Structure 1
Amino acid sequence: MKKRLALALSGLLLVAACATPAERAERRGAAQLNTQLGVNYARQGQYDLALEKLLKAADQDSEYAPAHSALAVIYQTRGDREAAEREFRKALALDGSDPTVKNNFGVFLCERGKPDEARRYFMDVAKDPRFAAPEQAWTNAGICIKKTDPEQAERDFREALRLKPDDRDALAQMAILSFARQDFLRTRAFLQRYDLKSRATPELLSIAARTEMALGDRDAARDYARRIVQEFPESKEAATFADWQP
């Protein structure tokens, strides 16, 4: 049985090695089509169909890096970390120049508790002129290390804001850092720039309420507390602020 299996695999490899340029081009085209279909399904939240198409694409052309990078994201979304890391590394081995894949892999590594390796990828991305949003890479780098090195994290967030002064992710992170240091005036300033009226989260509204309380504006504190309860009734912050009386 083992000999038959080995012979069968050898035969498959021989066929692959002897493929003509036209056949390889046909496989690449099919892989590209199925990768795009898989990505489209993923965007619609249809992850089973996305996985099916992406696995087919990788089977059609195992050296098509975008199929592997898309597979990595799907596996990451489904919580299969080992498979995700395998596919990320496969994609980068095939095409180590794609800044989007590097950024996504950096996020993955950060979530897995590997901040040093993640930061190396983020710094590569931040310096790559092909990456349209370098401020995102700087913000990701700061988020990854803010618990262990808040000073460096602040420098990263400030670099993101230098590149894009209204970047909300970096503004939110600076507000969180300032609040942790009890620098309430800076916290208020960053939250004002973030603009909580048009986009808010329970965490930031909670920080805003406590900041205004610390600065003596009880009316503003109550308004933020009320918004938490009304806009995010299922959040843990809503339970905290339900009966809050500043």
Structure 2
Amino acid sequence: MLRSLLLLVLLISGCATQAPWEKTDPQRQAEAYANLGMGYLREEEYTRSLRNFNRALEVRPEHEKALHGMALALQAQAENQLAENYFKKVLQVNPRNTAARNNYAAFLFEQNRYDEARIQLQRASEDIFYSDRALIFENLGYVALEQNDPEAAKVFFKRCLTLDARAVNAHRELLRLYLPDDPQKASNHWQFLQEADIQDKDSLTLGLELAKITGNQQEQERLQQLLANH
């Protein structure tokens, strides 16, 4: 099953006006345009976002946020070659831009270029100070699954949980991975999902499979009823 990697959210809001200093200070002017671009990007107004990113780059050709934003906006419009060019540009300007590297990996994943995506994510995972590092390992787990490497996927999802013990996706995928051969470990992850009141269809289906394996008839009936309500 093809999955979509999770993008690292850019917590930048747009602003409709410019302060006076933004018109005279090139760096702040570029930043203002880039912020506008990010605001439009979040609203899925891609043409407006691209215009503002381009204005930022006219002022500061190596402005990281604008380069990254161009890549994301072009990706959203399926301009894949142009998007990749901008992902590469922002990483040339700053190889330590972990958010851009993760999002480039997500782009590569969408193109079924799993080996390249894994390389980018492994580099991103080396940033021990990055606040969303758990997400990097979660994404590595999904890439490993697409590469038919379940043992590596287990390692990556467990690393994710080391950094964020409440990462629902990692618990769900470990439940799935342990179900055939290790019901006890699978049960640990199912217990978390129950305690967190996770009741999406995928999780409930996995829980039902676990109940069948362990012979828990009462749990089977409960989960069948919940699934019937979906």
TM-score, normalised by the number of residues in structure 1? 0.73
- Show the 5 A alignment for 1:200-239: 200-231=199-230
Closer, same or farther: CA 128–188 of 1 in aligned 2, 3 Å: same
- Show the 5 A alignment for 1:66-215: 66-147=65-146, 148-179=148-179, 181-195=180-194, 198-215=197-214
> 1:189 offset after TM fit, Å?
2.1
Residues 72 and 88, structure 1, Cα contact 8 Å, conserved in 2: yes
SS at match of 1:146: helix
Residues 57 and 67, structure 1, Cα contact 8 Å, conserved in 2: yes
Closer, same or farther: CA 227–57 of 1 in aligned 2, 3 Å: farther
Closer, same or farther: CA 197–168 of 1 in aligned 2, 3 Å: closer
Structure ID, larger Rg: 1
Q: 2: distance between equivalents of 1:55 and 1:65?
A: 12
The residue number in structure 1 matching 2:57 is: 58
SS at match of 2:25: helix
Structure 1: gaps spanning 5 or more residues? 1-24, 232-246
Q: Deviations over 1:129-173 (max 9, x none)?
A: 331122221121121012421111111112222233332222122
Q: Which runs of 4+ in 1 moved over 4 A?
A: none
Q: Deviations over 1:104-150 (max 9, x none)?
A: 11222222222232222222222213311222211211210124211
Q: Deviations over 1:12-39 (max 9, x none)?
A: xxxxxxxxxxxxx733322211111121
Closer, same or farther: CA 54–219 of 1 in aligned 2, 3 Å: farther
Moved more, 170-179 or 110-119: 110-119
SS at match of 2:29: helix
Identity, % of aligned positions: 20
Q: Deviations over 1:67-114 (max 9, x none)?
A: 111121222233332222111011111211111111111222222222
The residue number in structure 2 matching 1:31 is: 30
Q: 2: distance between equivalents of 1:196 and 1:51?
A: 44
Q: 2: distance between equivalents of 1:55 and 1:201?
A: 41
Kindly provide the amino acid, as one letter, of the partner of residue 212 in structure 1.
Answer: A
Query: What is the Cα-based RMSD across aligned positions, in Å?
Result: 2.7
The residue number in structure 1 matching 2:19 is: none
Closer, same or farther: CA 228–80 of 1 in aligned 2, 3 Å: farther
Q: 2: distance between equivalents of 1:172 and 1:57?
A: 42
Closer, same or farther: CA 209–46 of 1 in aligned 2, 3 Å: farther
Q: Which structure shows the bigger proportion of residues in helix conformation?
A: 1
Closer, same or farther: CA 191–114 of 1 in aligned 2, 3 Å: same
> 1:42 offset after TM fit, Å?
2.5
The residue number in structure 2 matching 1:22 is: none
Residues 99 and 130, structure 1, Cα contact 8 Å, conserved in 2: no
Residues 196 and 205, structure 1, Cα contact 8 Å, conserved in 2: no
